[in-house]
Amino acid sequence: MKKMKRCLILLMALAMAFALAACGNNADTTSPEGSALADGSAPADPGQEATPTEEAWTPEENITLIVSYKAGSGTDNTARVLAAYAEKYLGKPVIIENLEGGSGSIGWTALAQAEPDGYTLGFLNLPNFNATIVEGLASYTVDSFAPICNHVTETSVILVKADSPFETIGDLVKYGQEHPGELKASTNGSRASNHIGAQVLANSAGFEYTDIPYGGTADQLLALRQGEVDFSVAKEADFASFASEVKVLAVYSTERLAGYPDVPTMGELGYYDQWLGSSRCIVAPAGTPDNVLAFYEQAFQALMEDPDYLQAAESAGMFTDYMNREETGALIQQQQAFTESLESVW
């Protein structure tokens, strides 16, 4: 309708101009309001509101990236690899802020309550984040955050200490079946991702174990390495810096992992036959302007395609898995539904 109106104005103006020319009028032809402009184009309709255009945004100060786990954790390690290459694409340095505790809920609460001005971002660890909501540890919901992108997706694996007497997953399962409740597993918190993995193993293999929750994956794996527990479930990047101190017995995937081609999948052994793992998404507080989110979405995509970053990520055992805002939002919602469906596992 607006386009038709502009066309009518233009036709009327041209008709007036031809009429004046036919009369041989040599008066000043400066366009009055409502007539054609000097270049023959139609003026803006005074009654038509200008379409607002959102200005491009770029940060003018340092960016804080909240990691809800302690320094040295798997999330912290992957965040620092990302931050090392961020300034090239974001224009400002990224400062990692570790706010551990409460199975991640302390950091996610701070992130949800941060000013939505583009200067505070953070990682959501799925499904750990979702588990804090299901467990009632959270004052936030999935709607408290604005998705930007996914960073990494990692597959869960079953670990024992390098000198463990359990050489295969069959050895571990057999002992668990013959000694109910005696096997101890360290986890990263009640019903967090690694606890889910341990419980899925026990349920599908038919044995009981004793869960010992720790504040996060770093502490969980330290307990394993110190011989305080018999097994753990974690992701590859979590133990990349001390891989020689642990032994991988099985992987939660439909296919063997490239990094461990000789390690069987759970399904091959007759146990849980679906993928299980975690994703780490970058989000902002809800209410962050769309142009800010768009800036970060594009900048992080470019960063995650950078050859130098990809080489560093590979060296750190990271599996970069970029997803855009829409895909990341759908993933968060899907993991929330998945976590809520796990009640039958416990």
Please report, for the chain, the start and end positions of each structural domain, with discontinuous segments joined by +.
Answer: 63-153+277-345, 155-269
In angstroms, the CA 105 to CA 113 distance is 12
- Note the pLDDT of residue 45: 43
Which of 342, 325, 330 has the alpha carbon at shortest distance from 146? Answer: 325
Q: How distant, in Å, are the alpha carbons of 38, 40, 157, 176, 288 from that of 201?
A: 78, 76, 10, 11, 40
- Note the pLDDT of residue 62: 98
Whether pTM > 0.85 for this model: the answer is no
- Note the pLDDT of residue 14: 37
Same fold, 63-153+277-345 and 155-269: yes
Task: Give the number of other CB atoms < 10 A from CB of residue 256.
Answer: 14
Angle, alpha carbons 322-130-267 (nearest 5°): 70
- Note the pLDDT of residue 103: 87
In angstroms, the CA 234 to CA 240 distance is 11
Determine the topology of domain 155-269 in CATH.
Answer: D-Maltodextrin-Binding Protein; domain 2 (3.40.190)
- Note the pLDDT of residue 73: 85
In angstroms, the CA 252 to CA 144 distance is 30
- Note the pLDDT of residue 295: 98
- CATH number among 3.30.450.20, 3.40.50.150, 3.30.470.20, 3.40.190.150, domain 63-153+277-345: 3.40.190.150
Per-residue pLDDT of the chain (346 residues; tens, 9 = 90+): 333 333 433 333 333 333 333 444 443 433 333 333 333 344 444 344 433 446 899 999 999 999 999 998 889 999 999 999 999 999 999 999 999 998 899 999 999 999 999 999 999 999 999 999 998 999 999 999 999 999 999 999 999 999 999 999 999 999 999 999 999 999 988 888 899 999 999 999 999 999 999 978 889 999 999 999 999 999 988 898 899 999 999 999 999 998 899 999 999 999 999 999 999 999 999 999 999 999 999 999 999 999 999 999 998 888 999 999 999 999 999 999 999 988 777 7
- Note the pLDDT of residue 189: 83
Instruction: Calculate the CA 291 to chain-centre distance.
Output: 19
Contact 150, 335 (CB under 8 A): no
Task: Give the number of other CB atoms < 10 A from CB of residue 166.
Answer: 20
